[in-house]
């Protein structure tokens, strides 16, 4: 299924990432992987999305503004122009 396919790269690299150094580092890695995979699932090029997010997130003041920056809610016309990822095989 799509969810299993999305987490497969993380599962394959698990041994390489076994040690995050600290619980906060593990939390940060999990959040970053989640954002990247959610961007891919929404047909957004992850590099373009992360650039957009890192530029705009510091100015977000409210929960609504933060929610609008998430990959499933972002206005794609605001993202930098980079090639879209290839569609996932189903």
Q: What is the pLDDT of residue 67?
A: 95
In SS3 terms, 32-68 reads as HHHHHHHHHHCCCCHHHHHHHHHHHHHHCCCHHHHHH
Structure-block tokens of residue 36 = 């990247």
Q: What is the pLDDT of residue 64?
A: 96
Question: Does 45 map to a domain?
Answer: yes
Q: What is the pLDDT of residue 38?
A: 92
Question: Does 52 map to a domain?
Answer: yes
Residue range(s) defining the domain that contains residue 8: 2-78
Question: Does 88 map to a domain?
Answer: no
Question: Does 59 map to a domain?
Answer: yes
- How many structural domains does the chain have? 1
Q: What is the pLDDT of residue 44?
A: 92
The mean pLDDT values, 10 residues at a time, for the chain of 90 residues are 71 62 79 90 91 94 95 89 63
Question: Does 86 map to a domain?
Answer: no
Question: Does 87 map to a domain?
Answer: no
Q: What is the pLDDT of residue 4?
A: 74
């Amino acid at each position: 299924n799509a969810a299993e396919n999305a987490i497969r790269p993380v599962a394959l690299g698990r041994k390489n990432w076994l040690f995050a150094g600290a619980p906060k580092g593990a939390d940060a890695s999990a959040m970053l992987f989640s954002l990247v995979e959610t961007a891919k699932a929404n047909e957004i090029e992850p590099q373009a999305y992360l650039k957009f997010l890192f530029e705009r997130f510091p100015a977000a003041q409210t929960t609504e503004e933060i929610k609008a920056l998430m990959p499933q809610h972002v206005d794609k016309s605001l993202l930098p122009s980079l090639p879209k990822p290839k569609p996932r095989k189903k």
